[in-house]
């Protein structure tokens, strides 16, 4: 029987994986807690103390706890420490789902960041949009700025592919390639 696993990219050791080229530095972020909140976002904000507005694509998030807008009634809440609010349905009109295990987060920084973004998406990095959910490198992703870095969340199953894409993009950017 054929070994179908040989078709798939091998995931790097995320603890030590780093891509460094002139103008770019990329690494995985492993310590974040991620919650998906759906429903009445004003009720969420009142109950959790976390802003219910959220930043959109290329918007600037700040601090150790913030929200990223996914849709009209959906947020990705990101925190350096666990939130005290339980998962599940809340009678106030919102649901909370822990999704830290489902999304891999990467940080990209450096003077070539806008060139990197231009390789990944057609959106203008200088124009924040309402939703941070977008197509990046041909896959669904969540992208926004956090303290002068670009954070990109992708499905964990696509993280190895995305890492390979980022290695190639960084190499092309460093070489000054336009293709």
- 91 and 119 in a single domain? The answer is no
* pLDDT < 50: residue spans in the chain: 178-179
Measure the CA–CA gap between 44 and 26, rounded to whole angstroms. 33
Helix (H) or strand (E) holding 117: helix 113-120
Q: Please tell me the predicted confidence (pLDDT) of residue 179.
A: 46
Whether residue 12 lies inside any domain: the answer is: no
DSSP for 18-70, written as a single string: EEEETTEEEEEE-S-EEEEEEE-HHHHHHHHSS-SS-B-TT-EE-SSEEEEEE
Tell me if 178 is assigned to some domain.
no
Of the candidates 41, 49, 61, 44, the residue with the CA atom closest to the CA atom of residue 151: 61
Ramachandran class of 5: left when φ > 0, alpha when ψ lies in -120 to 50, beta otherwise? alpha
Task: Say what the pLDDT of residue 176 is.
Answer: 83
Question: So what's the pLDDT on residue 31?
Answer: 93
Q: Identify the domain boundary among 80, 98, 116.
A: 98
CATH number reported for the structural domain that contains residue 125 in this entry: 3.30.1360.120
Number of domains the chain is built from:
2
Eight-state DSSP code of residue 85:
S
**CA distances (Å), 70 to each of 52, 76, 141, 160, in order?**
11, 7, 10, 23
CB proximity list for 76: less than 8 A, separation 6 or greater: 34, 35, 36, 37, 54, 67, 68, 70, 99, 132, 142, 153
Question: How many other C-beta atoms are found inside a 10 Å radius of the C-beta of residue 120?
Answer: 23
User: pLDDT value at position 11?
Assistant: 82
Task: Answer with the one of 48, 68, 98 that is the final residue of a domain.
Answer: 98
Supply the pTM of this predicted model.
0.92
Domain end marker among 50, 82, 98: 98
pLDDT for 128 equals 84
The answer to whether residues 148 and 67 belong to one domain is no
pLDDT of 177 reads 55
Q: Do 167 and 120 belong together in one domain? A: yes
pLDDT of residue 5: 65
Q: Could you tell me if 54 and 94 lie in one domain? A: yes
**Could you tell me the residue range of the domain that residue 156 belongs to?**
19-31+104-173
């Amino acid at each position: 029987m054929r070994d179908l696993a040989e078709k798939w990219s091998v995931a790097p050791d995320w603890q030590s994986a780093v891509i460094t080229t002139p103008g770019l530095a990329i690494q995985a972020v492993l310590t974040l807690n991620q919650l998906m909140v759906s429903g009445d976002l004003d009720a969420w904000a009142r109950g959790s103390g976390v802003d219910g507005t959220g930043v959109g694509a290329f918007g600037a998030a700040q601090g150790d706890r913030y929200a990223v807008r996914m849709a009209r009634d959906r947020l990705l809440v990101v925190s350096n420490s666990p939130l005290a609010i339980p998962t599940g349905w809340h009678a106030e009109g919102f649901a909370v789902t822990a999704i830290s295990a489902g999304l891999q987060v990467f940080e990209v920084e450096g003077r070539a960041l806008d060139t990197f973004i231009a390789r990944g998406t057609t959106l203008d990095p200088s124009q924040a949009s309402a939703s941070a959910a977008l197509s990046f490198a041909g896959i669904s992703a969540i992208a926004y700025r956090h303290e002068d870095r670009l954070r990109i969340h992708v499905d964990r199953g696509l993280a190895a592919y995305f890492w390979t894409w980022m290695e190639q993009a960084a190499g092309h950017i460093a070489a000054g390639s336009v293709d």
